[in-house]
Amino acid sequence: MGDRVSSAEWVIRNEDDAWALLKEACSVKELSAFDIKFDNWPVLDIKLVGDQFSSNLSTKMMEAFIELQKNINRTYARLYYNYSTARGITNEDKEQIELFVQVSPGSSEYKINLQKIVEKFVKGVAGKMTGKQATIIIVSGALMWTSHSAFKAYLESQKEMKGIEMRQLAGDQETQRMKIFADAMKHEPQVAFTKADAEEVYNKVLKAASTAKTLQMSGTKIKGQEAQKLARATRSVSEEVNLSGEYRVVKIDNSKSDHFEVKVNDGMEGMFTARLDDSLIISQDEVWKILEAALRSREPVRLMIEGVKVRGEITKATITDVPVRHARK
């Protein structure tokens, strides 16, 4: 099974098609992401029922949509540039993957068609990764953003984790589909980041729906009181990490008046920018020569780096030392 190559054209019209393709992508040796066609999918549909929601968009619901946009931006940054955050993507990139929320007149139903965005993802990964990798990452993301099975599975896990006595929210289909998703994460670990990000969106939607009569998201309907019970408190998602290791220097920026920054890549964390620690300023010329040599040679150099991660992504990094400078003395 693992040596089989899939060459058939796939047309994804709904969630069932997407899950079938993801299962196929995980089971074959290779698959062409460029034979995938999207037909009015993926689409995220959210409906809040309640007098206060009629023709209105609450600030909490806006936060959920903004979180979804951040999720898409981060996935785009990983796919296109191997960045660990979305900070490096251009304004042109952002325009091409910008969300537009369709609000139905006289109601609180919101619809987001993501077809053009995922098509942009597929088009842009040509030559950057294999078709199998691209298929798993892009289809997994689309499913996490819009799938009723993924949303149901999340609700069920929240219910069990909190020990809430209420009706069953997910069944055998969700169990089987999340096994497919777990297989996808084994093949492409970065899919786990998209899953964690999507669950932040789910949680913000649940919070927004806590005062509604009902919430319907991706075809799954629950009461507002249930949404309130299932929503979790905002958790601390940042952690201090030691990132010391062998890095390739991608770019050096000395345009700042008080410090300089180095863009590095180790193939594991992806590409990120690190600031030189203030204590190394006295050795700036020496450090500069070492890093500049590494940039020219494209050879890895060992760097001592301390950083901060938020949901698996590096949001802050500081180079505390360059060990090779001591060896030269």
CATH topology classification for 238-327: OB fold (Dihydrolipoamide Acetyltransferase, E2P) (2.40.50)
pLDDT in tens, the chain (329 residues): 445 655 568 899 999 999 999 999 999 888 876 678 999 999 999 999 998 888 888 999 999 999 999 989 988 888 887 776 776 788 898 999 999 999 887 678 999 999 999 999 988 776 778 889 889 999 999 999 999 999 999 999 999 988 888 888 899 999 999 999 999 999 988 888 889 889 999 999 999 999 999 999 999 999 999 999 999 876 556 778 888 889 999 998 877 666 788 989 886 667 888 888 766 655 677 888 899 999 999 999 999 898 888 766 787 888 888 887 655 55
Q: β-strand 109-113 against 43-49: which pairing, if any?
A: antiparallel
Burial readout 177-210 (b: 16 or more C-beta within 10 A, e: otherwise): bbebbeebbeebebbbbbbebbbbbbbbbbbbbb
Torsion of CA 152, 158, 161, 162, to 10 degrees: -130
Q: What are the extents of the domains in the chain?
A: 5-230, 238-327
Per-residue model confidence (pLDDT) at position 109: 92
Report d(CA 45, CA 97) in Å as an integer: 18
pTM metric for this prediction: 0.74
Which 3 state secondary structure label does DSSP give 6?
A: strand
Per-residue model confidence (pLDDT) at position 9: 80
Question: From the CA atom positions of the chain, what is the Rg in Å?
Answer: 22
* Residue with tokens 């949001």, as numbered in its chain: 315
Show Cβ contacts of residue 101 under 8 Å, excluding neighbours closer than 6 positions. Answer: 57, 65, 110, 111, 112
Per-residue model confidence (pLDDT) at position 231: 94
Report d(CA 153, CA 177) in Å as an integer: 9
Answer positive or negative: Cα dihedral of 149, 152, 153, 154: positive
Residue 261, classified by CB atoms within 10 Å of its CB into exposed (0-12), middle (13-18) or buried (19+), is: middle
Report d(CA 232, CA 154) in Å as an integer: 12
Orientation angle between helical segments 172-187 and 131-146, nearest 10 degrees = 140
